[in-house]
Every structure is written in C-alpha cells, then in structure tokens.
C-alpha cells in the first residue's frame, strides 16, 4: 500500500525549510504545541482539540532530513475503533535544494488506505502541507488554533 506522500518547491533556502519543520511547527500545523523538535531525541506534544499526539525526533540532519516517530496518539473521532492508529508511524521530511530554492517532501510512513483514519488524515495532511507552503512563502501559515477549535477546510461544503 502506498503511504501518504506530498511535496512542493519554494524559493526559500533549505535552512528556512528545515526551520519550519523543527522550530515553527505551531505556525503551520497547530498552535497547541509543547516540547521541542530541534534535534534527535527531542519530543513534542501537539493537539487539535481532543486529538493529541506525541512525537520523538528520530533523526535530524540539518537542512536535509527530519524524521518524527509517533510515540502516543489519541484521535478524537467517535467512528474510529482504533484511536491510536498513528503510534509507530513515521513522518519523514526530506529537503533537497539547488540554487533556485528547496523541495520539501513529506512521507507519512504507515499512513495508507489500510488505516481506518486515512479518509480524514489524507485531506488534513493536504491542508497542512498547503499551510506550511504558505508559511514558507508569506510568513503566515494556517494552523489549527486552539482558541478557535476549527480549521478552514472543515468548514468548506
């Protein structure tokens, strides 16, 4: 089964793209974040309302690659039988660059169509990949905001 994968290219240097996935997660994914994601062994908690996850930085190669390993997960969906499906999955961020900019590729290893939450997680990742792209190009992403409790894509008909 194919794991979720998405990528885009920006004019930013690799160092800025790397900083977005190590230092600015709250600016494009969720502002309900605690912990650190700068180096191997760091851990961070992130939440989207009742959905909460804990990640460890499994690998960190500055300006090239970051791997997040999901240690804990609770996906707050009534219809979901296994609410910790993300545990053990890896989010692998790869950065390639040249003189024109950088390409960020995200592979969520373990998130595929055999996973019960895939139909919700796929459009959510699409949304957040758009958010990190906007963050890198304009400085303002569209993260989940705990005080608002919703995302723009959830309100679209």
Residue 147 tokens, joined: 């005080």
Predicted TM-score (pTM) above 0.85 = yes
Domain count, the chain: 1
Domain of residue 86: give its range.
4-155
Give the pLDDT confidence of 82-135 residue by residue, as tens digits.
999 999 999 999 999 999 999 999 999 999 999 999 999 999 999 999 999 999
The CATH number given to whatever domain includes residue 140 is 3.30.530.20
DSSP 39: S
What's CA 6's distance to the chain center, in Å? 11
- Write down the H helix ranges in the chain: 14-22, 118-138
First to last CA, the chain: 29
CB-count exposure of residue 111 (10 Å: 0-12, 13-18, 19+): buried
């Amino acid at each position: 089964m194919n794991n979720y994968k998405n990528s885009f290219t920006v004019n930013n240097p690799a160092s800025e793209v790397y900083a977005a996935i190590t230092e600015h997660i709250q600016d494009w994914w969720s502002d309900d974040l605690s912990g650190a994601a700068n180096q191997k062994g760091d851990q961070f908690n992130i939440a989207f309302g009742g959905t909460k996850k804990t990640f460890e930085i499994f690998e960190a190669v500055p300006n090239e690659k970051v791997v997040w390993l999901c240690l804990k997960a609770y996906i707050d969906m009534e219809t979901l039988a296994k609410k910790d499906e993300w545990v053990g999955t890896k989010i692998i961020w790869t950065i390639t660059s040249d003189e024109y900019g950088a390409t960020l590729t995200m592979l969520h290893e373990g998130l595929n169509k055999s996973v019960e939450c895939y139909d919700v997680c796929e459009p959510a990742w699409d949304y957040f990949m758009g958010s990190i792209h906007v963050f890198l190009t304009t400085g303002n992403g569209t993260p989940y905001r705990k005080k608002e409790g919703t995302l723009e894509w959830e309100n679209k008909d």
